[in-house]
Amino acid sequence: MRNSFWLALYALAVMLFLASEVTGQTGLSTRALEEIQNSFTVGGLWGAPRYTTALLPSCTAANTGAVAFDTTLGALVACNGSSWD
């Protein structure tokens, strides 16, 4: 069940991304589009979102377990509920 949720979310993100490329318009904010585009790796595969250390989202209990690629460190980091490790 959990895998089907992520597959559906991935399919939605791809459809929104492709729709924005075709029409040049979406109902999404610029920040949302950046999040979707940042989650694709150079090869076009789905991957962890990419941020510099300064631009990592706040690490709170609400996003415990979130994973991101820190481009400043050149490594994957995970939110433990209070900081990115």
pLDDT digits (tens, 9 = 90+) for 2-39: 566 676 677 667 766 666 554 455 565 677 667 666 66
Q: pTM of this prediction?
A: 0.49
The reply to whether 40 and 76 lie within a common domain is: no
The reply to whether 35 and 72 lie within a common domain is: no
The reply to whether 14 and 55 lie within a common domain is: no
Between CA 66 and CA 42 the distance in angstroms is 21
Between CA 15 and CA 58 the distance in angstroms is 28
Between CA 60 and CA 8 the distance in angstroms is 25
The reply to whether 36 and 9 lie within a common domain is: yes
Count how many domains the chain has: 2
More confident residue, 1 or 33: 33
The CA-to-CA distance between both ends of the chain, in Å, stands at 28
The reply to whether 22 and 35 lie within a common domain is: yes
Q: Is the dihedral of CA 84, 49, 15, 32 positive or negative?
A: positive
The 10s digit of each residue's pLDDT in 64-76 is: 888 888 889 988 8
The reply to whether 58 and 42 lie within a common domain is: no
Q: What is the largest CA-CA distance in the chain?
A: 40
Question: Residue 11 sits in which domain range?
Answer: 1-47
